[in-house]
Structure 1
Amino acid sequence: MVAEGIERLLDDDFELVALAQDGRSLLDIIERENPDLILSDINMPGGNGLEVLKTLRARGDSTPFVFLTMHAEPALAASAMRSGANGYVLKVSAGDELLSALRQVLAGGTYVTPSLGARYLRGRMADLHELTPKQREVLRLVGSGLRSKQIAAQLGLSVRTVEAHKYTIMQILDVHSTLELVRRSEDLGLLF
Protein backbone atom coordinates (compact mmCIF):
# COMPACT_ATOMS: atom_id res chain seq x y z
CA MET A 1 0.00 0.00 0.00
CA VAL A 2 2.78 2.42 0.92
CA ALA A 3 4.67 1.62 -2.29
CA GLU A 4 1.52 2.23 -4.35
CA GLY A 5 1.02 5.58 -2.64
CA ILE A 6 4.59 6.61 -3.36
CA GLU A 7 4.20 5.44 -6.96
CA ARG A 8 1.13 7.67 -7.40
CA LEU A 9 2.97 10.61 -5.82
CA LEU A 10 5.95 10.23 -8.17
CA ASP A 11 3.91 9.39 -11.27
CA ASP A 12 3.61 12.97 -12.62
CA ASP A 13 7.30 13.82 -12.38
CA PHE A 14 9.12 10.49 -12.67
CA GLU A 15 8.94 7.27 -14.62
CA LEU A 16 8.90 4.27 -12.32
CA VAL A 17 11.07 1.59 -13.87
CA ALA A 18 10.47 -1.14 -11.29
CA LEU A 19 9.39 -1.83 -7.75
CA ALA A 20 11.43 -4.19 -5.55
CA GLN A 21 10.09 -6.05 -2.53
CA ASP A 22 13.46 -6.97 -1.00
CA GLY A 23 17.17 -6.21 -1.13
CA ARG A 24 18.09 -9.00 -3.53
CA SER A 25 15.39 -7.99 -6.04
CA LEU A 26 16.51 -4.38 -5.76
CA LEU A 27 20.07 -5.31 -6.72
CA ASP A 28 18.77 -7.43 -9.62
CA ILE A 29 16.54 -4.61 -10.87
CA ILE A 30 19.37 -2.07 -10.66
CA GLU A 31 21.66 -4.32 -12.70
CA ARG A 32 18.95 -5.01 -15.28
CA GLU A 33 17.34 -1.55 -15.61
CA ASN A 34 20.26 0.84 -14.91
CA PRO A 35 17.99 3.49 -13.31
CA ASP A 36 18.77 7.21 -13.03
CA LEU A 37 17.88 7.20 -9.32
CA ILE A 38 17.15 4.65 -6.60
CA LEU A 39 14.57 5.26 -3.87
CA SER A 40 14.77 2.70 -1.08
CA ASP A 41 13.72 2.03 2.48
CA ILE A 42 16.35 1.03 5.01
CA ASN A 43 14.33 -1.92 6.34
CA MET A 44 13.43 -4.58 3.81
CA PRO A 45 13.64 -8.35 3.67
CA GLY A 46 16.61 -10.00 1.99
CA GLY A 47 19.20 -7.37 2.85
CA ASN A 48 18.48 -3.92 4.15
CA GLY A 49 18.79 -0.76 2.08
CA LEU A 50 22.14 0.16 3.63
CA GLU A 51 23.58 -3.20 2.60
CA VAL A 52 22.28 -2.68 -0.94
CA LEU A 53 23.84 0.80 -1.04
CA LYS A 54 27.20 -0.47 0.23
CA THR A 55 27.16 -3.30 -2.32
CA LEU A 56 26.49 -0.84 -5.13
CA ARG A 57 29.20 1.57 -4.01
CA ALA A 58 31.69 -1.31 -3.64
CA ARG A 59 30.93 -2.23 -7.26
CA GLY A 60 31.65 1.34 -8.34
CA ASP A 61 27.99 2.12 -9.05
CA SER A 62 27.39 5.80 -8.34
CA THR A 63 23.67 5.88 -9.19
CA PRO A 64 22.02 8.49 -6.93
CA PHE A 65 20.49 6.71 -3.94
CA VAL A 66 17.81 8.21 -1.69
CA PHE A 67 16.41 6.63 1.46
CA LEU A 68 12.74 7.12 2.33
CA THR A 69 12.43 5.75 5.84
CA MET A 70 10.68 5.96 9.18
CA HIS A 71 14.04 5.96 11.03
CA ALA A 72 14.46 9.46 12.42
CA GLU A 73 17.82 8.87 14.13
CA PRO A 74 20.46 11.42 13.10
CA ALA A 75 23.23 8.85 13.59
CA LEU A 76 21.57 6.46 11.13
CA ALA A 77 21.12 9.25 8.60
CA ALA A 78 24.79 10.19 9.02
CA SER A 79 25.80 6.56 8.53
CA ALA A 80 23.69 6.34 5.36
CA MET A 81 25.26 9.50 3.95
CA ARG A 82 28.78 8.30 4.81
CA SER A 83 27.97 5.04 3.02
CA GLY A 84 27.23 6.94 -0.16
CA ALA A 85 23.55 7.91 0.04
CA ASN A 86 22.60 11.13 -1.72
CA GLY A 87 19.42 11.70 0.24
CA TYR A 88 17.61 10.75 3.44
CA VAL A 89 13.91 11.61 3.70
CA LEU A 90 11.55 10.64 6.50
CA LYS A 91 8.26 8.94 5.64
CA VAL A 92 6.43 11.41 7.88
CA SER A 93 7.55 14.23 5.56
CA ALA A 94 5.13 15.80 3.11
CA GLY A 95 5.04 14.41 -0.41
CA ASP A 96 6.35 17.73 -1.73
CA GLU A 97 9.49 17.28 0.36
CA LEU A 98 10.17 13.90 -1.24
CA LEU A 99 9.69 15.32 -4.73
CA SER A 100 11.98 18.24 -3.93
CA ALA A 101 14.61 15.91 -2.48
CA LEU A 102 14.57 13.68 -5.56
CA ARG A 103 14.90 16.67 -7.90
CA GLN A 104 17.76 18.05 -5.84
CA VAL A 105 19.59 14.70 -5.89
CA LEU A 106 19.06 14.27 -9.63
CA ALA A 107 20.56 17.75 -10.11
CA GLY A 108 23.74 16.54 -8.36
CA GLY A 109 22.96 17.71 -4.83
CA THR A 110 22.24 15.96 -1.57
CA TYR A 111 19.24 16.16 0.72
CA VAL A 112 18.56 15.31 4.37
CA THR A 113 15.22 16.02 6.03
CA PRO A 114 15.83 19.35 7.82
CA SER A 115 14.57 18.19 11.23
CA LEU A 116 17.27 15.49 11.27
CA GLY A 117 19.97 18.05 10.66
CA ALA A 118 18.66 20.21 13.49
CA ARG A 119 18.54 17.23 15.88
CA TYR A 120 22.06 16.22 14.85
CA LEU A 121 23.43 19.71 15.48
CA ARG A 122 21.62 20.01 18.83
CA GLY A 123 23.09 16.65 19.87
CA ARG A 124 26.53 17.64 18.67
CA MET A 125 26.46 20.93 20.57
CA ALA A 126 25.27 19.19 23.75
CA ASP A 127 28.05 16.63 23.44
CA LEU A 128 30.64 19.35 22.87
CA HIS A 129 29.54 21.30 25.94
CA GLU A 130 29.64 18.27 28.22
CA LEU A 131 33.33 17.58 27.58
CA THR A 132 35.97 19.40 29.61
CA PRO A 133 39.06 20.78 27.83
CA LYS A 134 41.16 17.91 29.25
CA GLN A 135 38.60 15.34 28.04
CA ARG A 136 38.66 16.90 24.58
CA GLU A 137 42.45 16.62 24.53
CA VAL A 138 42.29 12.96 25.61
CA LEU A 139 39.65 12.32 22.96
CA ARG A 140 41.78 13.99 20.27
CA LEU A 141 44.75 11.78 21.20
CA VAL A 142 42.59 8.62 21.31
CA GLY A 143 41.33 9.58 17.85
CA SER A 144 44.89 9.93 16.60
CA GLY A 145 45.51 6.30 17.57
CA LEU A 146 47.45 6.70 20.82
CA ARG A 147 47.03 4.25 23.68
CA SER A 148 46.29 5.34 27.25
CA LYS A 149 49.92 4.94 28.35
CA GLN A 150 51.12 7.14 25.45
CA ILE A 151 48.43 9.75 26.17
CA ALA A 152 49.38 9.78 29.86
CA ALA A 153 53.04 10.39 29.00
CA GLN A 154 52.18 13.14 26.52
CA LEU A 155 49.79 14.98 28.87
CA GLY A 156 51.73 14.37 32.10
CA LEU A 157 48.86 12.41 33.64
CA SER A 158 48.61 8.98 35.18
CA VAL A 159 47.31 6.14 33.04
CA ARG A 160 44.48 5.80 35.53
CA THR A 161 43.46 9.45 35.03
CA VAL A 162 43.51 9.03 31.25
CA GLU A 163 41.36 5.89 31.54
CA ALA A 164 38.93 7.78 33.82
CA HIS A 165 38.62 10.61 31.25
CA LYS A 166 38.15 8.07 28.47
CA TYR A 167 35.46 6.22 30.47
CA THR A 168 33.59 9.48 31.16
CA ILE A 169 33.73 10.47 27.49
CA MET A 170 32.39 7.05 26.50
CA GLN A 171 29.47 7.47 28.92
CA ILE A 172 28.66 10.95 27.57
CA LEU A 173 28.74 9.72 23.98
CA ASP A 174 26.93 6.46 24.85
CA VAL A 175 29.54 4.12 23.36
CA HIS A 176 31.12 0.94 24.71
CA SER A 177 34.46 0.50 22.98
CA THR A 178 37.37 2.60 21.76
CA LEU A 179 36.41 1.91 18.16
CA GLU A 180 32.84 3.11 18.79
CA LEU A 181 34.25 6.13 20.62
CA VAL A 182 36.37 7.14 17.65
CA ARG A 183 33.54 6.56 15.15
CA ARG A 184 30.96 8.47 17.20
CA SER A 185 33.42 11.32 17.76
CA GLU A 186 34.10 11.52 14.04
CA ASP A 187 30.34 11.51 13.33
CA LEU A 188 29.88 14.40 15.75
CA GLY A 189 32.86 16.33 14.47
CA LEU A 190 34.58 16.15 17.86
CA LEU A 191 37.91 14.99 16.40
CA PHE A 192 39.97 17.75 14.93
Structure 2
Amino acid sequence: MEKKTILLADDHALVVEGIKKLLTAQYDVLDIAEDGNQLVQLAKKLKPDVIVSDISMPIMNGINAAEQILSSGLETKVILLTMLPEVKFAMKALDIGVHGYLLKHAAPEELLIAIKTVLMNKTYITPTLAADIMEAYKSGKREEYDPLNVLNARQRQILQLLAESQSIKDIASILNVSHRTVEFHKYKMVEILNLNNASELVPFAIKNGLG
Protein backbone atom coordinates (compact mmCIF):
# COMPACT_ATOMS: atom_id res chain seq x y z
CA MET A 1 0.00 0.00 0.00
CA GLU A 2 1.28 3.44 -0.91
CA LYS A 3 2.20 5.54 2.10
CA LYS A 4 0.16 8.64 2.94
CA THR A 5 2.13 11.85 2.48
CA ILE A 6 3.03 14.35 5.20
CA LEU A 7 4.29 17.94 5.00
CA LEU A 8 5.96 19.26 8.16
CA ALA A 9 6.35 22.87 9.26
CA ASP A 10 8.51 24.09 12.14
CA ASP A 11 11.37 26.56 12.37
CA HIS A 12 13.18 24.55 15.05
CA ALA A 13 15.44 22.05 13.30
CA LEU A 14 15.86 19.65 16.22
CA VAL A 15 12.12 19.49 16.88
CA VAL A 16 11.09 18.92 13.29
CA GLU A 17 13.79 16.32 12.68
CA GLY A 18 12.49 14.42 15.70
CA ILE A 19 8.96 14.50 14.29
CA LYS A 20 10.23 13.42 10.88
CA LYS A 21 12.06 10.45 12.40
CA LEU A 22 8.89 9.46 14.26
CA LEU A 23 6.74 9.53 11.12
CA THR A 24 8.97 8.10 8.39
CA ALA A 25 8.27 4.46 9.28
CA GLN A 26 4.58 4.86 8.46
CA TYR A 27 4.39 7.93 6.21
CA ASP A 28 6.18 9.61 3.32
CA VAL A 29 7.48 12.96 4.64
CA LEU A 30 7.61 15.15 1.54
CA ASP A 31 9.33 18.28 2.83
CA ILE A 32 9.79 20.66 5.77
CA ALA A 33 8.65 24.30 5.73
CA GLU A 34 10.47 26.78 7.96
CA ASP A 35 7.91 29.60 7.92
CA GLY A 36 4.22 30.13 7.21
CA ASN A 37 4.70 31.56 3.73
CA GLN A 38 6.79 28.58 2.66
CA LEU A 39 4.22 26.22 4.17
CA VAL A 40 1.43 27.70 2.04
CA GLN A 41 3.56 27.49 -1.11
CA LEU A 42 4.67 23.89 -0.47
CA ALA A 43 1.15 22.78 0.42
CA LYS A 44 -0.21 24.05 -2.89
CA LYS A 45 2.70 22.51 -4.80
CA LEU A 46 2.92 19.10 -3.09
CA LYS A 47 -0.74 18.58 -2.06
CA PRO A 48 0.10 16.32 0.91
CA ASP A 49 -2.47 14.14 2.63
CA VAL A 50 -1.62 15.70 6.00
CA ILE A 51 0.18 18.82 7.22
CA VAL A 52 1.69 18.82 10.70
CA SER A 53 2.61 22.39 11.60
CA ASP A 54 3.76 24.36 14.59
CA ILE A 55 1.63 27.44 15.31
CA SER A 56 4.56 29.71 16.21
CA MET A 57 6.48 30.32 12.99
CA PRO A 58 8.15 33.35 11.39
CA ILE A 59 6.53 35.62 8.77
CA MET A 60 3.14 33.92 9.03
CA ASN A 61 2.01 31.81 11.97
CA GLY A 62 0.56 28.33 11.60
CA ILE A 63 -3.05 29.37 12.12
CA ASN A 64 -2.95 32.01 9.39
CA ALA A 65 -1.10 29.64 7.07
CA ALA A 66 -3.66 26.92 7.74
CA GLU A 67 -6.48 29.35 7.01
CA GLN A 68 -5.00 30.12 3.58
CA ILE A 69 -4.42 26.44 2.82
CA LEU A 70 -7.89 25.34 3.86
CA SER A 71 -9.58 28.16 1.96
CA SER A 72 -7.67 27.25 -1.23
CA GLY A 73 -9.71 24.11 -1.76
CA LEU A 74 -6.98 21.56 -0.97
CA GLU A 75 -8.25 18.34 0.61
CA THR A 76 -5.21 18.25 2.90
CA LYS A 77 -5.83 17.53 6.58
CA VAL A 78 -4.14 20.07 8.87
CA ILE A 79 -2.85 19.30 12.36
CA LEU A 80 -1.48 22.15 14.46
CA LEU A 81 0.98 21.82 17.34
CA THR A 82 1.49 24.44 20.02
CA MET A 83 3.39 25.08 23.24
CA LEU A 84 0.56 27.29 24.51
CA PRO A 85 -2.30 25.50 26.31
CA GLU A 86 -4.67 28.44 25.80
CA VAL A 87 -8.19 27.76 24.63
CA LYS A 88 -8.42 30.92 22.50
CA PHE A 89 -5.84 29.63 20.01
CA ALA A 90 -7.54 26.24 19.79
CA MET A 91 -10.88 27.96 19.20
CA LYS A 92 -9.46 30.01 16.36
CA ALA A 93 -7.87 26.94 14.79
CA LEU A 94 -11.07 24.91 14.94
CA ASP A 95 -13.15 27.81 13.65
CA ILE A 96 -11.10 27.97 10.45
CA GLY A 97 -11.45 24.21 9.92
CA VAL A 98 -8.23 22.70 11.28
CA HIS A 99 -8.57 18.93 11.66
CA GLY A 100 -6.23 18.29 14.59
CA TYR A 101 -4.90 20.27 17.53
CA LEU A 102 -2.43 19.08 20.17
CA LEU A 103 0.32 20.28 22.46
CA LYS A 104 3.97 19.93 21.43
CA HIS A 105 4.94 18.31 24.71
CA ALA A 106 2.39 15.52 24.19
CA ALA A 107 3.67 11.95 23.89
CA PRO A 108 4.84 10.99 20.38
CA GLU A 109 2.11 8.35 20.27
CA GLU A 110 -0.53 11.10 20.49
CA LEU A 111 0.66 12.63 17.21
CA LEU A 112 0.42 9.24 15.52
CA ILE A 113 -3.11 8.84 16.87
CA ALA A 114 -4.00 12.36 15.68
CA ILE A 115 -2.77 11.64 12.14
CA LYS A 116 -4.71 8.38 11.94
CA THR A 117 -7.81 10.15 13.26
CA VAL A 118 -7.78 12.99 10.73
CA LEU A 119 -7.12 10.54 7.88
CA MET A 120 -10.43 8.90 8.86
CA ASN A 121 -12.11 12.30 8.33
CA LYS A 122 -12.49 12.89 12.05
CA THR A 123 -11.28 15.80 14.19
CA TYR A 124 -8.62 15.23 16.83
CA ILE A 125 -8.38 17.53 19.86
CA THR A 126 -5.86 16.82 22.59
CA PRO A 127 -7.67 15.52 25.70
CA THR A 128 -5.80 18.15 27.75
CA LEU A 129 -7.88 20.91 26.15
CA ALA A 130 -11.00 19.10 24.96
CA ALA A 131 -13.18 19.78 28.01
CA ASP A 132 -12.29 23.50 28.13
CA ILE A 133 -12.92 23.88 24.41
CA MET A 134 -16.34 22.22 24.65
CA GLU A 135 -17.24 24.46 27.57
CA ALA A 136 -16.19 27.54 25.61
CA TYR A 137 -18.39 26.56 22.68
CA LYS A 138 -21.34 25.82 24.95
CA SER A 139 -20.99 29.18 26.70
CA GLY A 140 -21.41 30.96 23.39
CA LYS A 141 -18.59 33.37 24.18
CA ARG A 142 -16.60 32.67 21.04
CA GLU A 143 -15.74 36.25 20.15
CA GLU A 144 -13.64 36.78 23.25
CA TYR A 145 -11.35 33.98 22.12
CA ASP A 146 -10.57 35.67 18.82
CA PRO A 147 -9.19 39.16 19.49
CA LEU A 148 -7.56 39.30 16.05
CA ASN A 149 -10.73 38.51 14.11
CA VAL A 150 -11.23 42.18 13.22
CA LEU A 151 -8.00 42.20 11.18
CA ASN A 152 -7.70 40.87 7.65
CA ALA A 153 -5.05 38.33 6.64
CA ARG A 154 -2.57 40.95 5.42
CA GLN A 155 -2.90 42.99 8.61
CA ARG A 156 -2.35 39.94 10.80
CA GLN A 157 0.76 39.09 8.78
CA ILE A 158 2.16 42.59 9.16
CA LEU A 159 1.35 42.57 12.86
CA GLN A 160 3.24 39.33 13.32
CA LEU A 161 6.27 40.67 11.47
CA LEU A 162 6.23 43.80 13.65
CA ALA A 163 6.17 41.53 16.69
CA GLU A 164 9.21 39.73 15.28
CA SER A 165 11.05 43.09 15.33
CA GLN A 166 11.08 43.43 11.55
CA SER A 167 11.46 46.97 10.24
CA ILE A 168 8.97 48.57 7.85
CA LYS A 169 11.57 48.22 5.09
CA ASP A 170 12.06 44.53 5.83
CA ILE A 171 8.32 43.86 6.01
CA ALA A 172 7.79 45.55 2.65
CA SER A 173 10.54 43.38 1.15
CA ILE A 174 9.25 40.14 2.68
CA LEU A 175 5.67 40.77 1.52
CA ASN A 176 6.69 42.35 -1.79
CA VAL A 177 4.65 45.51 -1.16
CA SER A 178 5.53 49.19 -0.84
CA HIS A 179 6.60 50.92 2.37
CA ARG A 180 3.45 53.02 2.14
CA THR A 181 1.27 49.93 2.08
CA VAL A 182 2.89 48.63 5.27
CA GLU A 183 2.56 52.02 6.97
CA PHE A 184 -1.09 52.26 5.93
CA HIS A 185 -1.91 48.87 7.44
CA LYS A 186 0.12 49.66 10.55
CA TYR A 187 -1.86 52.76 11.39
CA LYS A 188 -5.13 51.24 10.22
CA MET A 189 -4.60 48.49 12.80
CA VAL A 190 -4.17 51.08 15.55
CA GLU A 191 -7.59 52.43 14.61
CA ILE A 192 -9.28 49.04 14.23
CA LEU A 193 -7.90 47.66 17.51
CA ASN A 194 -8.72 50.86 19.42
CA LEU A 195 -5.12 51.33 20.52
CA ASN A 196 -3.67 54.67 21.54
CA ASN A 197 -0.72 54.62 19.17
CA ALA A 198 1.47 52.36 17.03
CA SER A 199 3.79 51.55 19.94
CA GLU A 200 0.99 49.44 21.44
CA LEU A 201 0.81 47.14 18.41
CA VAL A 202 3.72 44.88 19.36
CA PRO A 203 2.60 44.32 22.99
CA PHE A 204 -0.90 43.57 21.68
CA ALA A 205 0.50 41.08 19.16
CA ILE A 206 2.63 39.27 21.72
CA LYS A 207 -0.26 39.10 24.18
CA ASN A 208 -2.36 37.43 21.52
CA GLY A 209 0.18 34.84 20.44
CA LEU A 210 1.95 36.53 17.54
CA GLY A 211 5.70 36.94 17.41
Q: TM-score of the superposition, structure 2-length normalised?
A: 0.57
Give the one of 66, 69, 82 matched to 2:95. Answer: 82
Q: Which amino acid counterpart does residue 86 of structure 1 have in structure 2? A: H
Give the one of 36, 39, 45 matched to 1:23. Answer: 36
Whether the 8 Å CA contact 1:74–1:117 is kept in 2: the answer is no
Q: 1:24 to 1:114 in 2, by over 3 A?
A: same
Q: Which has the larger radius of gyration?
A: 1
**CA–CA separation in structure 1 for the residues paired with 2:125 and 2:52:** 14
Judging by fraction of residues, say which structure has more helix. Answer: 1
Q: CA RMSD in A?
A: 2.4
Deviation of 1:26 after TM superposition, in Å, equals 0.8
Match of 2:64 in 1: 51
Q: 1:58 to 1:93 in 2, by over 3 A?
A: same
Equivalent position SS for 1:66? strand
Give unpaired runs (5+ residues) of structure 1. 129-142, 144-180, 187-192
**CA–CA separation in structure 2 for the residues paired with 1:80 and 1:62:** 17
Equivalent position SS for 1:105? helix
Equivalent position SS for 2:55? coil
Give the one of 140, 143, 147 matched to 1:183. Answer: 143
Q: 1:184 to 1:37 in 2, by over 3 A?
A: same
Within 5 A, what are the aligned runs for 1:86-97?
A: 86-97=99-110
Give unpaired runs (5+ residues) of structure 2. 1-13, 147-211
Q: 1:65 to 1:123 in 2, by over 3 A?
A: closer
Equivalent position SS for 1:72? coil
Q: 1:82 to 1:124 in 2, by over 3 A?
A: closer
Q: 1:122 to 1:8 in 2, by over 3 A?
A: same
Bigger relative CO (Cα 8 Å, ≥ 6 apart): 2
Report % sequence identity: 35
Give the one of 32, 50, 56 matched to 1:37. Answer: 50
Matched positions, count = 133
Judging by fraction of residues, say which structure has more strand. Answer: 2
Q: 1:97 to 1:47 in 2, by over 3 A?
A: same
Deviation of 1:33 after TM superposition, in Å, equals 0.9
Within 5 A, what are the aligned runs for 1:116-127?
A: 116-121=129-134
